[in-house]
Structures are given as C-alpha cells and as structure tokens.
Amino acid sequence: MEHRALSRLAAPAVAALLALTTGCTGDTVQGRPGASGLRDPYFPRAGNGGYQVDHYALDLDYDPADGQLHGTAVITARAEQGLSSFNLDFSGLSVEAVTVQGAAARYNRTGNELTVRPAEDLKKGEVFRTEVDYSGKPKPLADPDGSKEGWITTGDGAVAVGEPVGSMTWFPGNHHPSDKAAYDITLTVPRGYEAVSNGELRSRTEDGDGRTVFAWHSPEPMASYLATAVIGPYKVTTGRTPSGVGLYSAVAPGEAAASTGPLARLPEMVEWGSGRFGPYPFASAGAIVLPAGTLGYALETQGRPVFPGAPTSQELVVHELAHQWFGNSVSPKSWKDMWLNEGFATYAEWLWAEDHDGPTAQEHFEAFLAGDTDVDAEADSDWDAFPPAAPPGPEEISAQPVYYRGAMVLHRIRQEVGDATFFALVRGWAADHRHGNASTADFTAYAEEKTGHDLKKVWDVWLYGKDRPE
C-alpha cells in the first residue's frame, strides 16, 4: 500500500525534475496559478494574470419583479502561461457550476475572487473556454468616492454600469481595462420590457414562454467597465447618422423631453466628432436615458452612453460621445491614466463650444485660471488640487483635476504647437491606438514625437506638478 502510493507520487515528481533540468515539459503541462490581480496602482486586485479574454458570451435572464438574475457566462480566453488555476473577478451572486473545456472544474471564492481549477492544466498559448453558471439578486457596490456602480435597480427595471470595477456585480470576468474583448450579450426579460446593451441588436425574439430575448453583439474590443445592460419599459428609437452610423436609443418613460433636448443633436455630434477626431470607432451609436434620480452621473458605456435623466446640456452629450474615441477605443492601461479619458472628453466639450458659437477653448482655459464662472460653472472648483496624471488615491480618479486640469494640459499643448499640429496629434492618437490601450507615458512620448516639440515643461508643470500652474 505504502509503496504504491509513493510510486504514484514519484512519477510526476520525476517529470517535474526532468522538466526543470531539461527546460522542456514534453507532454506534461506544468501549470501554475494565474495572478489574482494586475497590481493596478489604484485597484490592485482588479483583473487577473495568466490569460487574456478574447470573447464573452453572456446569457442573462432577469425578472424585474423579483430582481433575480440567472446568468451563464462563456469566456473564451488564451493562456499566457501554463495554468493550474486562474481567477475571475466576481462579486455577490451564487456560482452554480463551472466548466473549463467542457469538463467540470473545481472553484472557490474569497472576496471578489473566483478561483477556477480546471480538471487539466492549461498550456501556455492554449485557447480555452470557461463556462460559469450563476444566479441571485445582483447588488450595486459603492465606489471609493462614494458613488454607486454595478447592477442598480430602477424601479421597474435595472441598469448595469461598471466604472471602475462594478461589472463584477453582474458577470465574472477579467475586470481591468487592459484586457479588452468582444462581447455577445443576450438578455431575456418578461414580455413588455425592453433590454438594451452595447453594440448591435442581432435579434429580438419571443421565447414562447412569455419572454423576449434580445441578442446584442459587440465585435469591437470593449473594456469590461463599459459593458451595460439596461432593462425596463423604455421607448426605443432607431436611425442612422448622415454618414451611416447606426443609432439605437432608449428613453425611460417620463424622460420624453430627451427627444427634443440636446440629445436630438447626437447624429450631428457624431459627424462633428468624426471630423475632429477621425472616424467614429464603432458600428453604432445612441443613448440610454435612465429614469431621473437612479444614478448620480452619466457613463460612456460603449457605443451607447447612459444618462441619469434627459441630458440638459449639449456639453454632457458631447462629453460622453467623445469618450467613444478617448477611453473606449483608446482605453487606459491603468486607472491612473484616467485623465486620458476625462481630459480629452472635457476638451471635446470646449471644442464643441468653440465650433458652435460658444466660448473658445482659450476662453475656457483662461476662465479656469481666473475662476470665472460666467464662462464655465466649474471654473472655481478645485481643478488645481492635484496633478491629473497622479490622483492621490482611488477616491480621486473622477475628481475635478482629472477633468479640467486634464483638459488644460491638452490646451497647453495646443498653445505650444499651434492648431494644425495639435489637431493632427489628436487624430493621430485616436488612429494609432484605435481599439487599444495606452498610458500617460505613451501619450507624452507620442505627443513629442508627433509634434516635434519638447513638451517637458508642460508635463512637469501641468501633468505631474503638485503646485497650481500659473
């Protein structure tokens, strides 16, 4: 007995020893656990190491009457190392089963980490399929800055918003913006409800059981914080911009004013953005207008931003639209790079105003320096409290300096290099990093190379400097 047990142990040990000494594993897969976080400077546990996701197929069945969600997530990923186990980020809900490559896998959960141990180790480079079946009543979570994100109920429905880490409340995944993937999100809801997500609506069918199935398809890479699912008695409108970008919008009952307000100019804004920043990065555009009061902010969910009630300013609509180029197509490498999202989206507001009989960007810039709230209501905010490329902590990644001083960095570049070179830089940035990820260091290097100017002083004073710039 003892002897047999020993020899059973000995065989793998000998194989491991051979692999070590020869540096070759032959048929033996030598997996090790994937990292449980990507060490993001602000959200160190967000995301996971050892694999990259290619595609998420999310099949979600939701009943607004009882708030119960039944989900199946099929995650197709590529192993970047031999894996004996790997993690998914997942918060709340109950996991019912996990399979990897069709075989039942063992799993356990600690905090927001779901650790999956496949029946067989995965080889480096292997494309593998993980299916997670889950259910329960999804809940929102609180951001470090106190705002709400994740799965949020809206009375007669729900909305999912994920910036920065809320998407783990409604599906398991590699929830860090550095791992973008294609998505197919299928939402099954009781008849009479609309269900809206990112991308294009492939089909809308009745399942014969009193429910409607909406199949949404997003072929372009998407960071998971930009995924959304909106369910409720919305009014849907569709159309096309003059240049052919598809439009699909949903407006909550009671927010009908949205259709005659600033949102009515969205088609024109898409064309304007394409002129300023280069081709619109996605196959479709639109907006989702939530019942007022369900959310404290708008979010640039991919292709189809959500607004907390009918937007009342053109600038807000332009801001969320501009994120489609800056943030959604060119995504941050880490949450420290947030100013690349918000500085650009804010600067887009100034450019829209400049191009439409409002204050020029120069006037906006000067208003902030002077605290002149006649030009911009935020001009006397604490926009100068910290350098935009270095928020003091995770609770500040959406604070004013990231937006306004971030926009001022861009305007300082424009002052240094002139309009023609500046707009070539902006378009080049969007084109060269289209559907990718970029960091602040990538941007500063790119800006100097593209413009041929030494911009060190701008970076030192405006981007990284602690003192209020003069």
Binding site for Zn ion (CB under 5 A): 342, 345
Q: How far apart are CB 411 and ligand TRP at their closest, in Å?
A: 18
Residue 325 CB, shortest distance to Zn ion, in Å, is 12
**Is residue 143 part of the contact set for ligand TRP (CB under 6 A)?**
yes
Give the x/- contact pattern for ligand TRP in 95-134, rule: CB under 6 A: ----------------------------------------
Q: At what angle do helices 338-355 and 314-322 cross, to 10 degrees?
A: 130
Is the CB of residue 284 less than 8 Å from the CB of residue 303?
A: yes
The site partner of 220 among Zn ion, ligand TRP, none (C-beta below 5 to 8 Å per kind) is: none
Least spacing, CB of residue 97 vs ligand TRP, in Å: 33
Q: Reply yes or no: is the peptide bond before residue 164 cis, omega within 30 of 0.
A: yes
User: Which residues from 289-348 bind ligand TRP, rule CB under 6 A?
Assistant: 297-300, 319-320, 342
Tell me: does residue 163 bind ligand TRP (CB under 6 A).
yes
B/e letters for 387-421, b = 16+ CB within 10 Å, e = fewer, are: bbbbbeebebbbbbbbbbbbbbbbbbbbebbeeeb
Is 423 a binder of ligand TRP (CB under 6 A)? no
- Contacts with ligand TRP by CB under 6 A: the residue count is 12
Does position 61 interact with ligand TRP (CB under 6 A)? The reply is no
Q: Measure Cα distances from 26 to 19, 80, 117, 123, 412 in Å.
A: 8, 18, 22, 11, 57
| Residue 248 C-beta: closest distance to ligand TRP, Å | 20
- Written as six digits, the tokens of 447 are 């800006």
CB of 171 to ligand TRP, least distance (A): 19
For every residue of 20-36, DSSP letters joined together read HHHS--TT----EEPPS
* Close Cβ partners of 356 (under 8 Å, ≥ 6 residues apart): 314
Quick one: which of 96, 145, 355, 382 contacts ligand TRP (CB under 6 A)? 145
* Residue 145, binding choice from Zn ion, ligand TRP, none, Cβ under 5 to 8 Å by partner class: ligand TRP
- Shortest Cβ distance from residue 91 to ligand TRP (Å)? 17
User: Residue 144 in contact with residue 393, Cβ under 8 Å?
Assistant: yes
Q: What is the secondary structure of 375-435 as a DSSP string?
A: T-TTTTSSTTSS-TTS-SSGGGTTSHIIIIIHHHHHHHHHHHH-HHHHHHHHHHHHHHTTT
Which amino acid is residue 459, in one-letter code?
W
- Residue 173 is given by DSSP the state B
The stretch near ligand TRP (CB under 6 A) out of 143-151, 215-223, 383-391, 452-460 is 143-151
Q: Which is nearer to ligand TRP, 89 or 396 (CB)?
A: 396
382 binding ligand TRP? (CB under 6 A): no
Strands 83-89 and 32-33: parallel
Catalog residues that contact ligand TRP under the rule CB under 6 A.
143, 145, 147, 163, 297-300, 319-320, 342, 398
